[in-house]
């Protein structure tokens, strides 16, 4: 199974502002009892999207109809900090997000996201604020994340992005899933094994 080459992501964006948004806020621990990751998207940011007293929706951006269907998440510094649960990027992806733009990321969250093919790019705070202002004014505005040029384009503006080169290379060349690469290499492994006298039948 050849992995998709992820060179760009285009979609509408939603700002979830704040620094140090940790993995427990992204996906509360009580929802991590699942056998598979399917369905985790339903509980993304659950404890800040629901009033614990009334059970009603809060004013969280993901509850706003104008941002429904957004596929790019905008946030602040140290996104995905806290525990190393891989359920956090899984929940983000299962909700429907295809990329994240933030000031910085927790190391393990960044790695877990990359192996899902979920690009995490960084931008300066003022540039994220520019994109946020554009989508606040027009939630239908499309954001283009160009991983080749390392730039984001929205509403006639272009801002500079950054991404660790190893992650960028893996995404744009379709090498972001190590297990997928191993499975793709099975024929080569069998061929090599066939040539080794000590493994010959």
Is 1 a residue whose pLDDT tops 60? Answer: no
- The residue whose two tokens read 């994240």 is 100
Q: Read off the pLDDT of each residue in 148-164 and give the average, rounded to a whole number.
A: 97
For residue range 52-64, list pLDDT tens digits in order. 888 899 999 999 9
Higher pLDDT, 35 or 148: 148
What domains does the chain contain, in order, with CATH numbers? 8-175 (3.20.19.10)
Tokens, residue 23: 């993995």
Tokens, residue 59: 């004013």
CB-based contact 137:109 (threshold 8 Å): no
Q: What's the pLDDT score for residue 185? A: 77
Q: Read off the pLDDT of each residue in 184-196 and give the average, rounded to a whole number.
A: 83
pLDDT band at 201 (very low <50, low <70, confident <90, very high): low
Q: How many CA atoms lie within 13 A of 91 on its CB side?
A: 22
- Give which of 18, 35, 28 is closest to 50, Cα–Cα: 28
d(CA 144, CA 91): 22
For residue range 62-119, list pLDDT tens digits in order. 999 999 999 999 999 999 999 888 999 999 999 999 999 999 999 999 999 999 999 9
């Amino acid at each position: 199974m050849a992995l998709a080459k992820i060179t760009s992501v285009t979609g509408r964006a939603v700002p979830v502002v704040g620094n140090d948004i940790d993995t427990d806020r992204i996906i509360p621990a009580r929802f991590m009892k699942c056998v598979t990751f399917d369905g985790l998207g339903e509980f993304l940011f659950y404890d800040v999207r629901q009033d614990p007293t009334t059970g009603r929706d809060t004013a969280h951006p993901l509850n706003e109809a104008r941002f429904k269907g957004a596929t790019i998440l905008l946030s602040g510094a140290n996104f995905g900090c806290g525990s190393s649960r891989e359920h956090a990027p899984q929940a983000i992806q299962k909700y429907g997000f295809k990329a994240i733009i933030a000031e910085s990321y927790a190391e393990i969250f960044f790695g877990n996201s990359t192996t899902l093919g979920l690009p995490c790019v960084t931008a300066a705070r003022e540039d994220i604020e520019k994109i946020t202002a554009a989508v606040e004014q027009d939630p239908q505005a499309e954001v283009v994340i160009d991983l080749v040029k390392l730039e984001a384009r929205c509403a006639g503006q272009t801002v500079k992005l950054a991404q660790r080169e190893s992650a960028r290379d893996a995404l744009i060349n379709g090498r972001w899933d190590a297990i997928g690469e191993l499975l793709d290499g099975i024929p080569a492994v069998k061929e090599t094994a066939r040539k080794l006298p000590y493994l010959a039948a």
